[in-house]
Amino acid sequence: NAGVTQTPKFQVLKTGQSMTLQCAQDMNHNSMYWYRQDPGMGLRLIYYSASEGTTDKGEVPNGYNVSRLNKREFSLRLESAAPSQTSVYFCASARTGTPIYNEQFFGPGTRLTVL
């Protein structure tokens, strides 16, 4: 049981380049999330997917797109990277339903630097 996995672990981009961060979970969770973490700002939700086939914006969606490929996988795409997107990105998943427990399980993170 790998839990939540993320690839890559580290990435350096130049301004304007694009890339996709991959996330997969093997816990049969229906909800998945992308966060960014910056010093002093805690965790900020970028996008989330409450179930396969649905996605919704979080607090800071600008400059990002997501795809819920199937129940296991949720990818985050930067179409044209900017230095302001330098951050640590975390993917999380949760078993939500009735009753909803909202306990989220996190991946190890991707450390992204945009030059």
Residues engaged in binding other proteins (CB under 8 A): 4, 31, 33, 40-43, 45, 48, 50, 58, 90, 92, 94, 96, 98-109
- Closest distance to other proteins from the beta carbon of 16 (Å): 28
Of 56 and 79, which CB lies nearer to other proteins in the complex structure?
56
CB 19 within 8 A of CB 77: yes
Minimum CB separation of residue 15 from other proteins in Å reads 25
**Whole-angstrom distance, CA of residue 12 vs CA of residue 70:** 27
What are the residues whose beta carbons fall under 8 Å from the beta carbon of 99, sequence distance 6 or more?
A: none
Minimum gap (Å) between residue 80 Cβ and other proteins: 27
User: Closest CB to other proteins among 2 and 14?
Assistant: 2
Task: From residue 115, give the alpha-carbon distance in Å to each of 13, 16, 18, 86.
Answer: 6, 9, 13, 8
